[in-house]
Amino acid sequence: MNRSSKIIRYVSRRLIQGIPIILAIVVLNFFLLNLAEGDAVDVLAGEAGSATPEYMEEMRKKFGLDKPLPVQLAVYLKNVIQLDLGYSFRHDMQVTELIIDRFWPTLILMVSTILLAVGFGVLLGLFAAINLNTWKDSMVSVFALITYATPLFWVGLMMIILFSIKNDWFPTSGMENSAMFYEGFERVKDIAHHLVLPTITLSLFYLALYTRMMRASMLEQYGQDYVITARAKGVSERRITFVHVLRNALLPVVTMAGVQVGALIGGSVIVESVFAWPGLGMLAFESLFARDLNLLLGIFLLSSALVVAVNLVVDVIYCFLDPRIEVN
Amino acid sequence: MKLTKIMKGVLAAASIAVVGSFAQAQQAGGSLVFLVQPEPPTMAGYVSTSGPIGLLGPKIYDGLVDYDNDGKMVPMLAESVDVSPDGKTITFNLRKGVTWHDGEAFTSEDVQFTIMDVLKKVHPRGPNSFKEVSSIDTPDAHTAVFNLDNPAPYMLRALSSYESPMVPKHHLEGQDVKTAKLANNPIGTGPFKFVEWKKGQYMRLDKNENYWREGRPYLDRIVGRFVPDASTRAAAMEKGEVLYAAYNAVSNVEAVRLNKEKDNIGLTTDGYSMINPMALLEFNTKEGPFTDAAVRRAISTAIDRQYMIDTIFFGYGKPATSALSSNFSATGLHAKMPNYPANGDVAAANKILDDAGYARDGNGVRMKGMFDLIPYGEDWKRGGQYIQQVLGEIGIQVELRYEDVPTWLKRVYHNYDFEMNLNYFYQLSDPVLGVHRHYGTNMIRKGTHFVNSSRYSNPELDALLSAGMTTPDATKRAGIYLDIQKILANDMPVVNLFELEFLVVYNTKLKGAYGSAMGAYASFGDAYLD
């Protein structure tokens, strides 16, 4: 069997295995979320001021919250299998619609952050490893330590003060200019302009992680036997570093990036909040406090599916980075 | 009582104001971006009185009338109001030529439907406000006659676009009002039309070119922005990305700083008199350590209200002096009561407790209790910490508890599993609308939020409350409320702390958007950019 058909078989098997995992996550989340006191009706009625008990009972009935938990779960699972994520009573909208609406901003922020963090992290780690134990190496280490240790919200606020208020370079928050409402290419430029500060803030943290990981990984590979063999053959240091060591050193970094895609969806709540970026993290955060369980379950479902998918992609990337790794 | 004359007077005054304002040459055009915090759940202001809905809804929907700073009615969809001598028939003469944003004509049928089928049924406060309305006649398209079982003077104070928005019958009839599509696609008669709602970002409203007020609105567009982080909201205000913020969207500490540092940022406490927010302590009068009125009187006596206002709320607030807000002085209902010392009197409080026989133990503690705090941010936490300290001085040791909103609501209003609760209530434009719900026996409603959670029940008070509802005569009414306040100052199921003064923070570029009685809940039809 050739390699590509092997990969296809492997991918489809993994996808089928992913389904029970995702369903298990849904069931677990369902019960965990129902442990919280109060429900969506309480919050809605609380915000509305005074509401009569009859009114609240009626709402519970309408939302299906009056049924016993196992029945609610069965109804939910039945809908999920039919790819219907249900209805958000708080927003009066389909959950799928809400999530897709907020998925694009998250995706834009996530992709740009990963590219920036992994890209610069790999470069800096490489730079530090090549200049091991020189002042350049120390500079990189100190930089990584500081960015890793600084709280995200503080970095975000400082960015706003420095680059938005003191210097009028970037907008403070939001995804686009809501006084102008640009269209077409102007809108793309506007969104990119709004994207700069949140992306830098969010990547700084991950950048530190990748830098340190890349540096350690490079150093580990330098000590391997194959490097000595290559040197003995008379391969240039440049070729050893960029062709042999770099490719091997990238494996753990790619693994890490795969794991963090899932974390980025939830982990960007702080950045989304500080920069009013309309992503999924903020939606999940708000729906928790509103006890909007349908919506929350939908977001969890999406992020678990995403983690399963990304891990699969990472496994496939392995095969290309290291031809010795085979799928079967 | 004929109110027509009053209304006509107001009309004349309004037209003079219009002439005057044209002389200043307001500029038409431009976009107003302002802060809406938090993002509203829906735009169904006829189902929910949730604060952020009030910030956007009245721009889209009109009410029958509006109110000026003295609480007098200003004509909106109703050009005049006639009240019959017995107070039981109220005729609204509606404005002609008003259309909904979809082009349909606004008629008396819309008014009838809004009151009888929407507000009276599904609005949280509507069943109270329109309790006495038994039917509405529509003799012609521009006349709506309200038939009341009993006089209801307070009803005329609940007709603003925030409290009772007029909604289109043709978009709700024959549907479940609570789930109708109108909730997310509002269609009103107001100065601005709903365009789009980007969840998590903004809501965009564009100018209604066919608005019934000639030459209004000035602005081409209003955008409400949702920014979750408080510091970022202040930064956006500082940078001029947003021009207006109310209801603590910019915290007092930032507001005072911006006002000091920037020439173009102004502050006002106007625009909250119809809302009348009151900070207070609710007590469980049925079980726990605070069932004795003497203990509650001691607590009210000990707290230094002015200190709380000065140190925690940056001086914005007024010490409470009775169960009613001093804003009710305008209608003669408010009276100053004992047991409400502005600066607190720890010695007197200790004496009350000594006299009542609560002895201190070896550690100086008379009693212990649990103290729940309203989960609406840091200011309330600090307020709780201050009260904890003061109560320590009079030998009441309390433990603070701060939970998330649903948990807290469930605890206080469903399970009655609390002893003392820091909270705030809107007293609104009349005690019947905002205060009765806290004290009446009929307002002990398990599972209903922001009502009588103390489960205080006093037949004598109940009788006075009913009398207060149906007595149109102002002097008699003042007498009734004097008795009510006396009883409450003695029994104290709720200890009022201070009248909150929310701030409006604005960029001076924006004119005409502040100074009205409804404040941020107004239509902004007169707002313009300089």
Distance of alpha carbon B180 from alpha carbon A104, whole angstroms: 28
Two tokens, residue A175: 């995804």
Rounded to two decimals, the pTM is 0.82
Instruction: Using DSSP bridges, classify how beta strands B143-148 and B192-198 pair: parallel, antiparallel or unpaired.
Output: unpaired
Q: State the Cα angle at B20 between B18 and B26, rounded to 5°.
A: 80
Look at residue A217 and tell me whether its pLDDT is greater than 80.
yes
**Cis peptide before B341, with omega less than 30 degrees from 0?**
no
Measure Cα distances from B87 to A5, B132, B157, B274, B430 in Å.
86, 11, 14, 23, 17
Between helix A95-130 and helix A184-222 the angle, nearest 10°, is 40
Find the range with the poorest average confidence among A36-45, A237-246, B6-15, B503-512.
B6-15
Sign of CA dihedral B160, B161, B162, B166: positive
Measure Cα distances from B280 to B201, B288, B461, B479, B530 in Å.
34, 19, 20, 24, 40
Across the interface, of A38, A53, A91, the residue whose CB is closest to B41 is A91
Q: What pLDDT does residue B219 have? A: 94
Q: Which residues of A touch B405 (CB under 8 A)?
A: 38, 43, 46, 289
In the block, residue with structure tokens 């700084």: A204
Distance of alpha carbon B20 from alpha carbon A30, whole angstroms: 62
Contacts of residue B495, Cβ cutoff 8 Å, sequence gap at least 6: B280, B281, B283, B296, B299, B300, B303
Q: What pLDDT does residue B277 have? A: 92
Kind plus residue range of the DSSP H or E element containing B319:
strand B317-319
Two tokens, residue B367: 């009693």
* Cβ pair A11, A316 in contact under 8 A: yes
ipTM of the complex, rounded to two decimals: 0.80
Contacts of residue B32, Cβ cutoff 8 Å, sequence gap at least 6: B219, B221, B222, B223, B243, B244, B510, B513, B524, B527, B529
Interchain pair B235, A174: CB under 8 A: no
Which amino acid is it at B461?
L
Q: State the Cα angle at A131 between A129 and A134, rounded to 5°.
A: 120
Measure Cα distances from B213 to A177, A208, B209, B217, B485 in Å.
30, 60, 10, 8, 43
How many contacts (CB atoms, under 8 Å) link A and B?
A: 173
A interface mutation test: which of B233, B448, B509 has the most A CBs within 10 A?
B448
* Cβ pair A33, A297 in contact under 8 A: yes
Q: What pLDDT does residue B24 have? A: 53
Look at residue A53 and tell me whether its pLDDT is greater than 90.
no
Q: Which residues of B touch A162 (CB under 8 A)?
A: none
From A81's Cα to the closest Cα of chain B, the distance in A is 26
Distance of alpha carbon B353 from alpha carbon B131, whole angstroms: 42
Over the stretch A111-140, which tens digit does the pLDDT of each residue have? 899 899 999 999 999 999 989 889 999 999
Which amino acid is it at A62?
K
Strands (E), chain A: 87-88, 93-94
A interface mutation test: which of B39, B241, B264 has the most A CBs within 10 A?
B241
Distance of alpha carbon B417 from alpha carbon B284, whole angstroms: 9
Distance of alpha carbon B243 from alpha carbon B137, whole angstroms: 44
Across the interface, of A93, A164, A176, the residue whose CB is closest to B235 is A164
Q: What pLDDT does residue B366 have? A: 95
Distance of alpha carbon B127 from alpha carbon B119, whole angstroms: 7
Q: How far is CA A63 from the centre of its chain?
A: 31
Distance of alpha carbon B184 from alpha carbon B194, whole angstroms: 9
* Averaged pLDDT for residues A318-323: 77
Which amino acid is it at B7?
M
Q: What pLDDT does residue A94 have? A: 86
Q: What pLDDT does residue A178 have? A: 81
DSSP designation for B51: H
Over the stretch B406-433, which tens digit does the pLDDT of each residue have? 788 889 988 899 999 999 999 988 999 8
Residue ranges in chain B whose pLDDT is less than 70:
1-25, 515
SS3 B519: helix
What is the band of A22 on the pLDDT scale with cuts at 50, 70, 90?
A: confident
Phi, psi of B322 (to 5 degrees): -170, -175
Q: Which residues of A touch B440 (CB under 8 A)?
A: none
A interface mutation test: which of B163, B203, B232 has the most A CBs within 10 A?
B232
Distance of alpha carbon B85 from alpha carbon B154, whole angstroms: 16
Interchain pair A49, B124: CB under 8 A: yes
Sign of CA dihedral A17, A22, A25, A31: negative
DSSP designation for B298: H
Look at residue A75 and tell me whether its pLDDT is greater than 70.
yes
The burial class, CB within 10 Å (0-12 / 13-18 / 19+), for B328 is buried
Q: Which residues of A touch B47 (CB under 8 A)?
A: 48
Which amino acid is it at B362?
G
More confident residue, A193 or A7: A193
* Cβ pair A278, A272 in contact under 8 A: yes
Which amino acid is it at B168?
P
Radius of gyration of chain A (CA): 24
Over the stretch A190-214, which tens digit does the pLDDT of each residue have? 999 999 999 999 999 889 989 999 9
Interchain pair B239, A168: CB under 8 A: yes
Over the stretch A267-312, which tens digit does the pLDDT of each residue have? 588 899 899 999 888 888 888 888 888 888 898 888 888 888 888 8
Q: What pLDDT does residue A200 have? A: 94
